[in-house]
Structure 1
Amino acid sequence: MTDNPFADAFETPAQHNQPVFSVSELSGALKRTVEDAFSLVRVRGEISGFKRAASGHLYLALKDENAVMDAVCWKGVAAKIDLKPQDGMEVVCKGRLTTYPGRSKYQLVIESMELAGEGALLKLLEDLKRKLAAEGLFDESRKKPLPFLPKTIGIVTSPTGAVIRDIMHRLNDRFPRHVLLWPCLVQGKGAAEQVAKAIKGFNEIDGTGDVPRPDLIIVARGGGSLEDLWSFNEEAVVRAAAYSDIPLISAVGHETDTTLIDYASDRRAPTPTAAAEIAVPVRRDLYAQVLDDGARLEAAINRSLEERKIRVTSAARAIPNPQRMVEDMTLRLDDRVERLGNSAQNLLQRHGMRVEQLASKIPQPQQQIQNAQERLLGRTQALMSSYQSFLQKRQSRYDRTSALVRRKAIDDQVERSSQKLGSLSALLESYSYKSVLDRGFALVSDKDGKAVTASAGLCSGDELSIQFGGDDQVDVLVNGEGVAPTAPPTPKPAPAPAPKVKEKPKTKAKTPSPEQGSLF
């Protein structure tokens, strides 16, 4: 009996009697066959096309030189995998094969994943090391100096291992210090996160509470394989060590073991015991050194005091006797006092003689007053003479100026009067009745020379005079009586012809002025 469910069908002698399967039936049969035959396999390959879905599932492909296989890791399994998959990583995956009928594909359902040997781990380690080095996390300029004698030391390690006992034993031997232990895993899943959290936790202590802030941090672990020490190669641990404000000593593994935290720490210790030796000095050695330095300082001070004493003694020999110095100074002072008294009297005498000499050269006050009066009189006469001459010149200039001003004022007044007279003459001329006569009107006046403006009051035989333009004048007699202007006219019989009146001889008209024309 074979494992092929289709063997009986294929052995039928009549080819045309082979059973017909649907696509679903055939796909289901293939799925059961593959899952039964490959229910547990281990596959080694390089990750390609890695993708983490929003649901938490992992999708990737495993490949080698000749083939490619799709793989999937469900969310629940992915959370348990310590490894962080990425493209190019060579891994060994354990799982089962299954098919996906909807697309006629098969894939590996991963149940566990691990790196394929130490070579892959070293490659991953080198890649991470280059990345962090490019960011400057391993630069020497970032290294902080260690305190000479820390008051409090923080230790990050497992509380149950031999590492903490070795560190405490060496600290007590050399110089006992206050120690704070942050217990954490140092191997396996979650170890890297706990170590990074411990480093950050020590840095977050402000020291104001009951728990003091550490002056130094030691991250320690015993020896082991590359896989055992891998937690200290994780990026989170390396960054926590690089960004620590507190100086940090890495003491992971034995002397030949090297992890990435060693490059990011401020000091690397080959072993956890060596880290304790680096952290604190030997108290006995310090005590001996202090005693030796004290003895040497005391000897140096004694030698300095002795030398200064000798110098003081030598200097004292060169200093004279103070009593003699005081006596000499007293004598000199008395001498100076006596000379000062004599010199003051002599000085007064010399100044008195000098004053008498100067007084003899000064003229008498009466003579000075007389000379001043003579000079004042002479200057007064000269000033009066100058003042008289000045007044004469000013008077002469004033007379000339006054004459000019009066003449100019008269001329201006005459000019203004002439202009005003001309204006009034022109205005009077415009108002004169003669200008009206020149336009063709006539002036009628009686014998008394009064102007007759109406016919009322005139009687026949009245003598009138009619004056025309210019000097042309005619005497006339009224023929008939005047009528009031308001009375209506009454017809009258034609009057008898009046006797002829002998006209007066016409006076010869005067020749008009050339400035005014004549109407005749």
Structure 2
Amino acid sequence: MTDLLTNAAEFTVSEIAQAVRRTVEENFGYVRVRGEISGFRGQHASGHAYFTLKDENASIDAVVWKTSFARLAFKPQEGLEVIATGRLTTFPRSSKYQIVIENLEPAGAGALMALLEERRKKLAAEGLFARERKRPLPYLPRVIGVVTSPTGAVIRDILHRLADRFPSHVIVWPVRVQGETSAAEVVAAIEGFNAFTPDGPIPRPDLLIVARGGGSIEDLWSFNEEIVVRAVAASGIPLISAVGHETDTTLIDYVADMRAPTPTAAAEAAVPVRSELIGYVEDLGLRQRNGARRIASNLRDRMRAASAGLPRPADLVAPQRQRLDHAGANLLTALRHTSQAKAITLARIAPRLSPRVLEREVRELRTRLDYAARRLDPAIARIIESRSQRLTGLDKLMSSLSYENVLARGYAVVRRSDGAVVSGRAALNPGDMIDIQFSDGDVGATVSGAPARPRRRQKLQSDNDSQESLF
């Protein structure tokens, strides 16, 4: 026994690990493994993802490299049953084997439905599916934007239906409607249409249609992606969802402003029937014309009924015309009778209107006027004399009180150069120009030296008959 152990080949740990790795990779190339994801905590800082696939009896470590993770149509989620496609290998450092996953898909429709329901509840809790968020569609959109595949039957059905109902300006944004990049392309199309400006080179659509034909839940999964749902919710343009057939339901159906069972139904909901619209407008015009005629007819009947109770214009003026005729017929006779009556009256008073009578009345009036004038002259003379005596007395009083009389007694009036009267010596300074008024004229003078002290008044010199200087 000892010899057998001594003759056994000796391996290093690394050699054993490499041998096991080659054996596993050679015997298990690409495999499909079904299991439940456990221990997934999101991508690592390096971009790789690590988790465990398990069933009721065993588990296996799984890794998704960064480059493969970006291409996955379905991202790993905790508790989701999936089918992983990849290569088996070992991790020598921990003596464990693992699967390097290159593709990941839910294990059957049940898993997808469970994931879809979980996502639906999450978005509904955020209020994205609330009815009050939905907006009415424009009645007659000028421009319609369609997000769909440019090569499928869907776009042909939409264009054909729009042409039949109401030809419109349609802008198609081509996208893939399934596959790894489908969701990102749909999001880019919705955001791109919303980024258009009304006055830009490409007109901004008034309505959007996101459409795709029918298919399995896996085929329609792009329209269940959270990024697509949020892009539809954020759209500033009303949007119709027309994904799949009538029985197919995706998450964007809940958030869109309207859900159409088919792409053709979406085109029918987008525009009215042109012929029906023309007929409706013509019917409204006909009803308007008939209504106007009925109103005019009713007003005409009311006017006729009202005019029947009014007298004729000729009847209104007939009494006045008759009175005028009678007055015209009696006018000549009345003038003749009036003229005769006035002639008789004039003949009766003519003897009293002789010139002698008028001259007598004139003489009497002139006599009365002369008598009044003789009585008026003495009274006026007395008034004038009284007023003259009073005026003479006032003049004498004014002369006696005038300052000129004071000047005649030897006084003088001193004024400054500006004409102001000097009332005291404090108002004068040496060098001031003054004017002295005497009774017989004015004399100019200049103040010299300090202001003089008050002195007693001196008599005037007898030889020149003038007042002595006070300065």
Q: TM-score, normalised by structure 2?
A: 0.64
Q: Aligned pair 1:140/2:124, yes or no?
A: no
Cα distance, 1:13–1:114 mapped onto 2, change above 3 Å: farther
Equivalent residue, structure 1, for 2:32: 42
Identity of aligned residues (%): 60
- CA deviations on 1:304-330 (whole Å, 9 max, x unpaired) are 211111111111122344566578899
Equivalent residue, structure 1, for 2:99: 108
Find the aligned partners of 1:16 and 1:129 in 2 and give their Cα distance: 67
Residue of structure 1 aligned with 2:14, choices 8, 24, 27: 24
Equivalent residue, structure 1, for 2:197: 206
* Aligned-partner residue type, residue 17 of structure 2: S
Find the aligned partners of 1:28 and 1:154 in 2 and give their Cα distance: 59
Equivalent residue, structure 1, for 2:140: 149
Residue of structure 2 aligned with 1:260, choices 251, 256, 260: 251
Equivalent residue, structure 1, for 2:401: none
- Superposed, 1:411-430 pairs within 5 Å as none
Find the aligned partners of 1:13 and 1:308 in 2 and give their Cα distance: 134
* Aligned-partner residue type, residue 236 of structure 1: I
Find the aligned partners of 2:246 and 2:49 in 1 and give their Cα distance: 39
Residue of structure 2 aligned with 1:193, choices 184, 187, 192: 184
Find the aligned partners of 1:197 and 1:329 in 2 and give their Cα distance: 93
Q: Aligned pair 1:310/2:306, yes or no?
A: no
Residue of structure 2 aligned with 1:220, choices 206, 211, 217: 211
Cα distance, 1:329–1:47 mapped onto 2, change above 3 Å: farther
Cα distance, 1:94–1:317 mapped onto 2, change above 3 Å: same
Find the aligned partners of 1:248 and 1:171 in 2 and give their Cα distance: 16
Q: Aligned pair 1:239/2:230, yes or no?
A: yes
Where 2:104 maps in the other structure, the secondary structure is strand
- Superposed, 1:395-406 pairs within 5 Å as none
Cα distance, 1:16–1:143 mapped onto 2, change above 3 Å: same
- CA deviations on 1:336-360 (whole Å, 9 max, x unpaired) are xxxxxxxxxxxxxxxxxxxxxxxxx
Where 1:255 maps in the other structure, the secondary structure is coil
- Superposed, 1:427-506 pairs within 5 Å as none
Where 2:178 maps in the other structure, the secondary structure is coil
- CA deviations on 1:21-69 (whole Å, 9 max, x unpaired) are 4333333332222222222221111111223122221111111122221
Find the aligned partners of 2:25 and 2:123 in 1 and give their Cα distance: 44
Where 1:219 maps in the other structure, the secondary structure is strand
Question: Contact 2:75–2:104 (CA<8 Å) still a contact in 1?
Answer: no
Equivalent residue, structure 2, for 1:286: 277
Cα distance, 1:211–1:13 mapped onto 2, change above 3 Å: same
Structure 1 residues without counterparts, runs of 5 or longer: 1-10, 332-520
* Aligned-partner residue type, residue 107 of structure 1: Q
Find the aligned partners of 2:73 and 2:202 in 1 and give their Cα distance: 34
Cα distance, 1:93–1:12 mapped onto 2, change above 3 Å: farther
Find the aligned partners of 1:260 and 1:330 in 2 and give their Cα distance: 94
What is the RMSD of the two structures over their aligned residues, measured on CA atoms?
2.3
Q: CA deviation at 1:96?
A: 2.1
Where 2:158 maps in the other structure, the secondary structure is helix
Residue of structure 1 aligned with 2:171, choices 180, 195, 200: 180
Residue of structure 1 aligned with 2:85, choices 91, 94, 111: 94
Cα distance, 1:84–1:205 mapped onto 2, change above 3 Å: same
Equivalent residue, structure 2, for 1:84: 75
Where 1:180 maps in the other structure, the secondary structure is strand
Q: TM-score, normalised by structure 1?
A: 0.59
- CA deviations on 1:143-172 (whole Å, 9 max, x unpaired) are 100111111111111111111111111111
Structure 2 residues without counterparts, runs of 5 or longer: 323-471
Cα distance, 1:24–1:213 mapped onto 2, change above 3 Å: closer
Question: Contact 1:12–1:18 (CA<8 Å) still a contact in 2?
Answer: no
Equivalent residue, structure 1, for 2:436: none
Where 1:238 maps in the other structure, the secondary structure is helix
Find the aligned partners of 1:22 and 1:197 in 2 and give their Cα distance: 56
Q: Aligned pair 1:57/2:42, yes or no?
A: no
Equivalent residue, structure 2, for 1:125: 116
Where 2:16 maps in the other structure, the secondary structure is helix
Find the aligned partners of 1:12 and 1:100 in 2 and give their Cα distance: 34
Where 2:71 maps in the other structure, the secondary structure is coil
Q: Which has the larger radius of gyration?
A: 1
Q: CA deviation at 1:20?
A: 4.2
